[in-house]
Every structure is written in structure tokens, then in C-alpha cells.
Amino acid sequence: MTLRLPRLCLSVLAAIALAGCTDAPLGSDLDEGSFGNPTMNNVMIHNGELSFAQELGRRFAEEVPTTINFEFNSAVLDQEARAILRQQAHFIQNFPEVRFTVYGHTDLVGTQAYNQRLGLRRAHAVVDFFVAQGIDRSRLDALVSLGETQPVVATEARERRNRRTVTEVTGFVQDNPMVLDGQYARIVYRTYAAGPGGGSGGGE
């Protein structure tokens, strides 16, 4: 007698089998620190999107400073931060098919609950800056990663390098025509038009 399993059960068993082949979910190295993305990345890696998103993420990190820093207990963007964010915004504007995530970090001073709110305020400050530069908010996510979990410098004292946001490539805008056609390579390797002064940004 042939045993017939419901389609849902087969899907679950297949997922379990795949999970057993590796110590980490497929694609879990992309967009670390966010929530629920390993499942999404499993889909991305099977349709070819993940490797291109990773490549574009590497390109972004090589061509544009991805991190800005903050004064103690502040989410205010100073002039240095704004100059870097203008470079990031110019890159983002050159790739309208791509989604980005901003992670807000704190140093180790203060309670975890307070730092979580502060880190999120910092991430939102960056997203608001990008929106003011003409970038569609739907392409941007603001998330928080506490300094306790991802410090640049392991110290409980005030540390400017830990008070930061980091902008990263998340993936592709799923309803964009180029993405629907799977033209990821054309997006990733598009010529990047540097702005005035080599993309360094002017005054504001």
C-alpha cells in the first residue's frame, strides 16, 4: 500500500531536510540583526536574488561609507553625519530597484530598554534624512541593534564608535519591472554616477 502524505506535510519534511544540511539558514549572512529574514533569504537564494543582493551590498560598502556616529545620548545628525548620508543617499538614488535597512546602535551606557529606544531613534533619523533627499520611504527600513549585542569596541564606558547607524542593502523591490524580469545583474553592475566632488556631497 502506498502511503500518501498531504502536500503540506511534504513541504514541512522537505524544509526540515534542508535545514539539516547546514548549521545556519541559507542566506542568513545577509541582513544580519533583523528579524525573520532567514526564511525570506531561503527564497531569495533559490531564485538567484540573494547572491546578487550580497554583491550589491559589497559594492555599496566599498564605494560609500556605510556608518555614521552620534554624540552621547543623541539622535541628532551632525554635519559629518549629514555629509556621509548624502553620499549614501546618492548611491541609493542610483538604484531605485533596491531596498535598504538602517540599523541603529548605542554604546553600553544606560539600560537596555532605553538604548533600544535610542538606537531606533537614530535609525529613524537616518531614514527621515533619506526621505527628505527624495528617496521613497517604502524602500527603507529602520531597525535597532543594541550596543550590548554588536559593539565595535567592547567597553562599558562611553564610546563614540559604538554610537552609530549602519546602512545595508536588504534586497530588491519586488514589484519593480526589472526585478520581476530577474534582471539582477543589470541592476548590480549598473554604472554608478558619482555626484559633484566624486560623491562627497556638498554643504546643506
Give tens-digit pLDDT for 49-67: 889 999 999 999 999 999 9
**Please, what are the domains in the chain?**
29-188 (3.30.1330.60)
More confident residue, 42 or 201: 42
- Over 50: is that where the pLDDT of 25 sits? no
25/37 Cα distance (integer angstroms): 10
- Over 50: is that where the pLDDT of 202 sits? no
Lowest mean pLDDT among 22-26, 83-87, 112-116: 22-26
Mean pLDDT along residues 148-172: 92
Mean pLDDT along residues 155-181: 93
Which pLDDT value is given to residue 22? 39
Mean pLDDT along residues 70-75: 97
67/64 Cα distance (integer angstroms): 9
Which pLDDT value is given to residue 47? 57
Which residues, in sequence order, are CB contacts of 92 under 8 Å at separation 6+?
98, 100, 130, 135, 139
Global pTM reads 0.74
Mean pLDDT along residues 12-26: 40
**Tell me, what amino acid is at 22?**
T
Q: How confident is the model at residue 28 (pLDDT cuts 50, 70, 90)?
A: very low
Mean pLDDT along residues 27-53: 57
126/111 Cα distance (integer angstroms): 23
Nearest one of 58, 84, 59 to 69, comparing CA atoms: 84
Helix (H, G, I), strand (E, B) or coil at 95: coil
More confident residue, 195 or 63: 63
Mean pLDDT rounded to a whole number for the chain: 80
- Over 50: is that where the pLDDT of 71 sits? yes
More confident residue, 12 or 95: 95
Which pLDDT value is given to residue 97? 95
Q: Are 27 and 36 in contact (CB under 8 A)?
A: no
